[in-house]
Amino acid sequence: MDEAVKRVVTGMLALGLLTSGGLAAAQALQDPTRPPASLIQRATGGPDAVAAPAPKKAPRLQSVLIARQPGGRHVAVVDGETLRLGDSFQGARVTRIEADEVELSRGNARQVLKLHAAMPASAGAIERVRIQ
């Protein structure tokens, strides 16, 4: 009987070693939300990192708010920053705020930012529809 027990134990150990070797060779699952390795290396300064400056994007006019009273407040939202006449934005001065555009000045250079889709004056009005 001792010989039979030794054979069973030896067989189980051999089977365990064989299966654990197969698990070690299996590939690890990758996180589908993880960015590609090339982007991670560039961001962390890895061996493939390229010192390219980020492209400078043009400022975007997002909203214009003008008070209804004469001489009321004029406010513009450019790239999430609230600006008034005379305020500074990325080295430029806000020189004009209209209903659908804002003018920025840098020295003699002028830049006009326009809203993407200017809404007609009647856009906020309620239209009455007669149902027959």
Identify the CA nearest to 63 among candidates 47, 51, 80, 46.
80
Q: Is the pLDDT of residue 54 over 80?
A: no
Kindly give, in sequence order, each residue whose CB lies less than 8 Å from that of residue 80, ignoring residues fewer than 6 positions away: 62
Give the pairing type, strands 101-106 and 92-97. antiparallel
Section 37-43 average pLDDT: 72
Q: Is the pLDDT of residue 108 over 80?
A: yes
Whole-number mean pLDDT of the chain? 77
pLDDT at 35: 78
